[in-house]
Chains A and B, each alone.
Chain A
Amino acid sequence: LAKTTQPISMDSYEGQEVNITCSHNNIATNDYITWYQQFPSQGPRFIIQGYKTKVTNEVASLFIPADRKSSTLSLPRVSLSDTAVYYCLVGDHSNYQLIWGAGTKLIIKP
């Protein structure tokens, strides 16, 4: 299972674009990259998943370079409610035992 590395914490301000980068040097050919968001007192919630290049949904964008050894979650025009912990995971459909790190604690300031 590929291990991921991401910053422990980040600060930003309302209205800014926030980019959180995750390193996964040992990603396997069949692995996808999935990001989750977790608010205090709640379970993690799926945000976005991608394999290569760029994926965009109504919440975020995910940028994946050609070598796939890293990925960047981009949150456009953040608000205070985006304050949460963001987890990056790598695996495929057979990886039920995903490795969860401590995630990135994102704090948005007014």
Chain B
Amino acid sequence: GAGVSQSPRYKVTKRGQDVALRCDPISGHVSLYWYRQALGQGPEFLTYFNYEAQQDKSGLPNDRFSAERPEGSISTLTIQRTEQRDSAMYRCASSPPRHSASGANVLTFGAGSRLTVL
């Protein structure tokens, strides 16, 4: 697509429910990132995919959080047994392949999914 698409834009759920947040990156972007952003703060890294391989999940807060990108395109971030502290804006970003001679990764972000856990 033309941009990074995230759905749902807003999700309100009750504590203990599972939620799945979807990210559709820009076509051809092999790298996909999930971030969480609290109000007034910069994005906090959660996990990173290169194609379908999850190369780093060190930022996931605990084992209730998981992510997948089975075909190297759309990705899903799943939060099981949600808690109130999980309430935040979850942002997905993607970037094209970069090579050592061509600078640093330039990320394109989606509009985010606002999760509210009651």
Contact with B along A25-56 (1 / 0, CB 8 A): 00000111010100001111110010100000
**For the complex, what is the distance from the CA of A89 to the CA of B104, rounded to whole Å?**
10
Write the chain B residue with the least CB distance to A49.
B103
B99 at the interface (CB under 8 A from A): yes
Check if B93 sits within 8 Å of A43, measured CB to CB: yes
Residues of B contacting A: mostly: loop
Give the interface SS of chain A, mostly helix, strand, loop or mixed: loop
- In the complex where A34-B104, A49-B103 touch, is A43 in contact with B109 (Cβ < 8 A)? yes
Q: Which residue of A lies closest to B93 (CB)?
A: A43
Determine the chain B residues whose CB is within 8 A of the CB of A49 once the complex forms: 103-104, 106
List the one stretch of B14-22, B35-43, B62-70, B71-79 in contact with chain A: B35-43
A77 to chain B, nearest CB (A): 25
- Which residues of B (23-71) have their CB < 8 Å from a CB of A? 31, 33, 35, 40-45, 48, 50, 55-56, 58-59
Residues from chain A with a CB closer than 8 A to the CB of B107 are 36, 44, 46
Closest residue of A by beta carbon distance from B50: A96
Least distance between A28 CB and chain B CB atoms (Å): 11
Is A76 in the interface zone, CB < 8 Å from B? no
Contact A43 B33 (CB under 8 A): no
Contact pattern, B 69-103, Cβ under 8 Å of A = 1, otherwise 0: 00000000000000000000001010000111011
Interface residues of B (CB under 8 A from A): 4, 31, 33, 35, 40-45, 48, 50, 55-56, 58-59, 91, 93, 98-100, 102-112
